[in-house]
Amino acid sequence: MKFPKAIFIKLLKNKYLLTSLAFILYITIFSQNNLIERFSAIHELKKLESQKEYYLKIIKDNTEKIKELKTDQAHLEKFAREEYLMKKENEDIFIITKE
């Protein structure tokens, strides 16, 4: 089916259609708050919110560990031995790594 030129010219002369198309084009591309940037900002916001949840969980875990280390001497000694390879006098440390 061919698209007659008369209908095409009639659509181009319709000022409401042209105004609507110009408005949609302006909103989509040229505006300061265009739709493309808005969608990318929404995507970035969701990504940052998920990162926020992750870091809040890490902060909560670390806060619990710090509280535990400050209150329990046995946990503090265990942590120092495991993380910093500290030892008591007259004591040898053997590090075993799995390959």
Q: How many domains does the chain contain in total?
A: 1
**Nearest Cα to Cα of residue 82 among 74, 20, 38:** 74
In a domain, 82, yes or no: yes
Q: What share of the chain has pLDDT > 90, as a percent?
A: 29
Per-residue pLDDT reduced to its tens digit, 43-55: 999 999 999 999 9
Looking at residue 66, what is its pLDDT? 92
Instruction: Confirm whether 32 is domain-assigned.
Output: no
> Domain for residue 35, yes or no?
no
Q: In terms of residue numbers, what domain contains 97? A: 46-99
- Does the pLDDT at position 1 exceed 60? no
Q: Is residue 71 part of a domain?
A: yes
The answer as to whether 30 is a domain residue is: no
pLDDT for 27 = 82
DSSP-based three-state secondary structure for 14: coil
Q: How far is CA 41 from CA 4, 23, 38, 51, 74, in A?
A: 43, 22, 5, 15, 48
Decide if 22 is inside a domain: no
pLDDT at position 30: 79
Q: What predicted TM-score, i.e. pTM, was given to this entire model?
A: 0.54
